[in-house]
Homo-oligomer: A and B are copies of this chain.
């Protein structure tokens, strides 16, 4: 910048101001300096700027990246979320520092201006650990009972209730919920489902399955049939579970959607091309990322920020 100042015949500070589009410098001078900077290939030294401004213009995103724990790592969604976050932050001159839970003690993370936690849902201890850093923080997931921090997530409760209404509209009277209610987000889906059905005097059956696999979905249907329980609708808390269920039902001689309606969750790409095309609840992950980013930025700017749930959409296909 000093060099640039010399060439332009002005002082360093004028250069600084000119490049920062400050109205304090004459427009002519400003444009001349900007052109010169571009021409000379000048690159701002971010470290120096950060040091002086006492800001890193960086938001640390902490992702659960251990494969096979939960399932986070094997889903494409966190990446879409990251895409949304990245886009929004970049647009505001911030950058994304990606870390795992393990790497989060690194100095660079502590230097961040804000924190976004992904896939830490059930790990309240982890959340608290990062809370201690005293940084603006936003968590992705289901709002906990003790709302100490700002949470952004998709409205799982609504997800449950739209499916319930859908089943009721179809005249189903004996719906089943398949999933792992231990998981906070899925617990919310179950709650929304149960509450909405209760409004119609219906009480669903819960089949707990911890794995999000085809096999697990098939198994659930088999055990249901074995017990001879009557049912005419299945709400699976993942598309894979739903697909497994459909396959098992077909094999057991029950038609979908003739005898049983099935709805999955996430609307994964495969869902549309499954046979029959799967009905599913879709969440807008990109939008979620954007919102997460907006919230941290607000908090960084000292504005108050509140938790928010994003609406979901039931995609009705043939099941």
Binding site for B on A (CB under 8 A): 43-48, 50-51, 56-58, 61, 63, 65-67, 73-76, 78-80, 82-83, 86-87, 90, 93, 95-100, 102-103, 106-111, 213-215, 240, 244, 247, 269-270, 273-275, 286
How many angstroms from the CA of A301 to the CA of B80 in the assembled complex? 33
Contact assessment for B76 and A75 in the assembled complex, using a CB-CB cutoff below 8 Å: yes
Q: Which chain B residues border A79 with CB–CB below 8 Å? A: 63, 65, 73, 76, 78-79
Contact assessment for A95 and B100 in the assembled complex, using a CB-CB cutoff below 8 Å: no
How many angstroms from the CA of A102 to the CA of B51 in the assembled complex? 26
Contact assessment for B108 and A74 in the assembled complex, using a CB-CB cutoff below 8 Å: no
Contact assessment for A106 and B86 in the assembled complex, using a CB-CB cutoff below 8 Å: no
Q: Which chain B residues border A58 with CB–CB below 8 Å? A: 108
Q: Which chain B residues border A244 with CB–CB below 8 Å? A: 273
18 contacts between A and B (CB under 8 A): A43-B111, A44-B107, A51-B51, A57-B108, A61-B98, A65-B83, A74-B76, A74-B80, A75-B76, A87-B103, A90-B99, A95-B98, A95-B103, A95-B108, A97-B97, A214-B270, A215-B273, A240-B270
Give, as a whole number of angstroms, the nearest-CB distance from A227 to chain B.
23
Give, as a whole number of angstroms, the nearest-CB distance from A19 to chain B.
11
Contact assessment for B43 and A47 in the assembled complex, using a CB-CB cutoff below 8 Å: no
Q: Which listed residue (B48, B100, B213) contacts A83, Cβ 8 A?
A: B100
Q: Which chain B residues border A74 with CB–CB below 8 Å? A: 76, 80, 269
Contact assessment for B95 and A106 in the assembled complex, using a CB-CB cutoff below 8 Å: yes
How many angstroms from the CA of A45 to the CA of B51 in the assembled complex? 8
How many angstroms from the CA of A93 to the CA of B105 in the assembled complex? 11
Q: Which listed residue (B61, B86, B103, B274) contacts A65, Cβ 8 A?
A: B86
Give, as a whole number of angstroms, the nearest-CB distance from A52 to chain B.
9
Give 10 closest A-B pairs by Cβ, nearest first. Answer: A90-B103, A65-B83, A47-B50, A47-B51, A214-B273, A95-B108, A46-B111, A96-B98, A98-B98, A215-B273
A251 nearest in chain B by CB position: B275
Give, as a whole number of angstroms, the nearest-CB distance from A48 to chain B.
5
Contact assessment for B93 and A106 in the assembled complex, using a CB-CB cutoff below 8 Å: yes
How many angstroms from the CA of A43 to the CA of B54 in the assembled complex? 13
Give, as a whole number of angstroms, the nearest-CB distance from A159 to chain B.
20
Q: Which listed residue (B87, B90, B106, B274) contacts A90, Cβ 8 A?
A: B106
